[in-house]
Amino acid sequence: MDRFQDRADAGIYLVEHLQKYANKPDTIVLGLPRGGVVVAYEVARGLGLPLDVFLVRKLGVPGYEELALGAIASGGVQVINQEVLRSIRIPQSQIQEIAAKETEELKRRERVYRHNREPLAVKSRTVILVDDGLATGATMRAAVAALIKLGPRKIVIAVPVASREACEEFRKAVDEIVCGITPTQFHAVGAWYEDFSQTTDQEVIQLLREAQTPGETAGAMQ
């Protein structure tokens, strides 16, 4: 395959590689917003599984926001990178301020995307964590660290395209990883899509609404 037509096409492609999880009652699909939700929607639909969004907010170091001090995620999970913390010696009070600010933004997005619907329960379930691609893997790394704290039985990462380095890194971090294509010359995720236009909040909301399964047991992500 040269390139995917769009994110929906990429999700349909992933379904072929995840057939062993089709219609499994203990398995759910979580998409990383925003583009990952479009891919995850097709994965969930193709496998007959419940879909939800898994929100992650990076905690940036003041003045060096690209450097991740840690992350917060859906379900009230907070992960701190102790190595970074030791190197910058930031006071605990400042960490709390940063976390509080990002928590408010995460809650806002939770409300916008879910309309106060409870997140799907993660504990003791197999979770297929989906994004539209892996470049550096920073967002996925934060998502995995947060997800582990919620006690899933198994974590499966599924992405349509990834750099070979990122794909190999995550093989050691989760139970299984499905990387659709791993080009020798990777460049960027968007280079492997004909249409990589930005996904809007409204699209995410619509897909989550369409994917709601009557009778699905919701509950705190714990």
Domains and CATH numbers, the chain: 7-55+115-211 (3.40.50.2020), 57-114 (3.30.1310)
Contact 73, 143 (CB under 8 A): yes
Task: Using the predicted structure, report yes or no on whether residue 43 has a pLDDT greater than 90.
Answer: yes
Q: Is the pLDDT of residue 88 over 60?
A: yes
pLDDT at 174 exceeding the cut of 60: yes
Bigger pLDDT: 17 or 138? 17
Span 24-43, mean pLDDT? Answer: 96
Percent with pLDDT over 90 in the chain: 58
* pLDDT of 73 above 60: yes
Helix or strand or coil: residue 197?
coil
Cis peptide before 34 (omega within 30 of 0): yes
Q: What is the pLDDT of residues 14-25, one digit of tens each?
A: 999 999 999 999
Lowest-confidence segment of 169-178, 202-211, 213-222 by average pLDDT = 213-222
pLDDT of residue 221: 57
Q: What is the mean pLDDT of residues 24-32?
A: 97
- Of the two residues 18 and 89, the one the predictor is more confident about is 18
Q: SS3 for 136-165, per residue?
A: CCHHHHHHHHHHHCCCCCEEEEEEEEECHH
pLDDT confidence bin for 66, thresholds 50/70/90: low
| Residue 142 pLDDT level (bands cut at 50, 70, 90) | confident
Question: In 3D, which of 30, 25, 20, 80 has the Cα closest to residue 55?
Answer: 30
pLDDT band at 216 (very low <50, low <70, confident <90, very high): very low
Query: What gap in Å lies between CA 222 and CA 12, rounded to an integer?
Result: 29
The model's pTM is 0.85
Q: Is 182 helix (H, G, I), strand (E, B) or coil?
A: coil
76 SS3 class:
coil
Residues 6+ positions from 117 with CB-CB distance below 8 Å: 212, 218
Q: Which of 179, 136, 169, 127 is nearest to 21 (CA)?
A: 127
